[in-house]
Amino acid sequence: MIHINHENLLDLKYLASGVFDPLHGFMNYEEFKSVVYDMKLLNDNIWTLPITLEVNDDYNVGSIQDLYYNQTLIGKIHIEDKFQIQDKDLFEIFQTKDLNHPGIKKEKSKSSLKIAGKIQIKEELLKNTLYKGMLQDVFSKKNKEVKTIAGFQTRNAIHRAHEHLQKIALELCDALFINPLVGWKKQGDFTQEAVMSAYKVMFDEFYPQHRVFIQGLETNMRYAGPKEAIFHAIVRKNIGCTHFIIGRDHAGVGDYYGVYDAHKLAKELNSTNKLGIELLLLKEPYFCTKCDQIVSEKVCSHENTHKISISGTKIRQALVSGKIPDERFMRKEVAKALIDLGMDNIFIKE
């Protein structure tokens, strides 16, 4: 008998629903090493982050163990391997040796003992979850003309820079899939309730509903920068996206990664479309006081003289004070929806 936590449950669901295709179980040691050090599965498919199951007790390889969540039987795992991960593995995953990195800190809080194997889970657990090819089913009902779908990853409430990127995607593609991450995030990030409330405003009041679909991605945030950007792209391809947006410092945190390191890795890994999805590598949007609109360095010559960065810090400071942020940064309708939630419900506490 193995008792799993909520993050394990989310991984189990996506292993079973095809969102983590071609994975159908937790990685064994050889697969783990290949992913961590070579960014590919043993079958040579690109894959950049390990999917593992930690355990506190030792289990025999070859045994079949029941999986329990909140004292309820949810499935089984056929144990094919067990192994320990080391600090050097974490340093390679996150490309830093800083133990204060939130991804490393999170992994260090878990058991280093992992088990691998195929899983079986109860069908009812997959109700309302994302599944492989889902977007084709969604848009066949919403808009039969949709052929190309751009995916957008976020862990934040929408601001003007995000809106700018999403509108570029809507110009380039037939539809937009906004897929906010709603699993574990670090202290200080927006809550799931805040993110989804902000996007509800955009969906209800501003976006063409027959061309936009919003549903949360139930997986934990790793804060692994470029490697996580590629992981996010692969997952969205499995769900049904044909295109995926990678912006400034995608999945980054602090100053651990260069602002366009994810672009560099994306170009390297997808040079011959190995990922099977077209990547939209978009530059950071900002407000130009000369152009009097949201732009990027690719379309504006005033970056050094008239640029006002869309500051997440200033947005947070205003919201914490119960004030509407600068409307060049965030729509007042979105800000009001967040403020109406109450200060205790906007940001994640420890």
Identify whether 156 is a catalytic site residue: yes
Q: Are residues 270 and 259 in contact, defined by beta-carbon separation less than 8 angstroms?
A: no
Question: Out of 8, 28, 156, 179, which one is annotated catalytic?
Answer: 156
Q: Provide the pairing of β-strand 64-69 with 72-84.
A: antiparallel
Q: Give the torsion through C-alpha atoms of 182, 37, 95, 104, to 10 deg.
A: 50
For residue 321, the tally of other CB atoms under 10 A from its CB is 11
Spatial distance between the Cα atoms of 334 and 196, rounded to a whole number of angstroms: 11
What's the burial of 86, exposed, middle or buried (CB within 10 Å: 0-12/13-18/19+)? Answer: exposed
Place of tokens 């355990």: 55
Q: State yes or no: is 238 an active-site residue.
A: no
**What is the spatial distance between Cα 210 and Cα 74, in angstroms, rounded to a whole number?**
36
CB 117 within 8 A of CB 62: no
The residue annotated as part of the active site, out of 28, 155, 222, 236, is 155
**What would the two tokens of residue 252 be?**
């980054």
* Contact between 64 and 115 (Cβ < 8 Å): no
Question: What is the SS3 string spanning 142-205?
Answer: HCCCCCCEEEEEECCCCCHHHHHHHHHHHHHCCEEEEEEECCCCCCCCECHHHHHHHHHHHHHH
Helix residue ranges, H only, the chain? 6-17, 29-38, 87-94, 102-108, 134-142, 160-172, 192-205, 226-239, 261-269, 312-320, 332-341
Residues marked active site are found at 155-156
